[in-house]
Amino acid sequence: MSYPRSDVATDEPIRVGLGDEFAARFGTPDVAVFELSANGDAVLCLRVNTLDASKTAPTLRCADAMIAYCADKNLAPRCLVFAKASGMKAHDDRADLGLIESLVNGGRVTRVLWRDAAAISRSTECALRHHTALQNAGAELHLLDRGRIDAVAYEAAVPPYMAFVDERGTPREA
């Protein structure tokens, strides 16, 4: 699977041009990429499930907290990925996760910052799959509410309610 131009390590600005394969898989995804610095090594990730102003505004304010976190932890933000996507979508159906993972796999970024585990996904399986993809590529995962996350700590960072639904949102038996 090829994703937008982010799959090549370069100092060129990140331009998201949707290729035919990407568009065939995801349709026209609601994903925007904002370049922050060509020399950065971190991607800041925001997801909303609706563009309703009352819900979107707090998420957008989170970008300032992420930039402050980066300054405090000596991370250099490269870009901000903003997506409108259901938190219950399966990993393979999330264009934003595919784009973020392609940025990492292409060597464009080595650090990924989300607000918290629920911002990645409401599905434990989807969130863990994203974390595993980042880990396998040698990237660091940071959660604004927890800091840098390792494999063991990630299990603890996942909200308890997420353990009760699978990747499709189907309730599991306790």
Structure confidence by residue, pLDDT tens digits, 26-85: 555 678 888 899 899 999 999 887 777 677 777 778 889 999 999 999 999 999 998 888
In whole angstroms, give the CA distance from residue 9 to residue 95: 20
Residue 172 falls within a domain, yes or no? Answer: no
Highest mean pLDDT among 2-11, 16-25, 56-65, 101-110: 101-110
Check residues 116 and 59 and name the one with the higher pLDDT.
Answer: 116
Cβ 112 vs Cβ 45: under 8 Å: yes
Residue 159 falls within a domain, yes or no? Answer: yes
Q: Residue 25 class from Cβ within 10 Å (0-12 exposed, 13-18 middle, 19+ buried)? A: middle
Residue 79 falls within a domain, yes or no? Answer: yes
Check residues 129 and 3 and name the one with the higher pLDDT.
Answer: 129
Residue 89 falls within a domain, yes or no? Answer: yes
Residue 77 falls within a domain, yes or no? Answer: yes
Residue 174 falls within a domain, yes or no? Answer: no
Question: Which residue segment(s) compose the domain that 153 sits in?
Answer: 5-164
Residue 173 falls within a domain, yes or no? Answer: no
The pTM of this model reads: 0.75
Residue 60: its pLDDT value, please?
76
The CATH number of whichever domain residue 83 belongs to comes to: 3.40.50.1390
In whole angstroms, give the CA distance from residue 72 to residue 70: 5
| Pairing relationship of beta strands 77-84 and 140-143 according to DSSP bridges | unpaired
Q: How many domains does the chain have?
A: 1
Residue 61 falls within a domain, yes or no? Answer: yes
The closest of 27, 32, 174 to 100, measured between CA atoms, is: 32
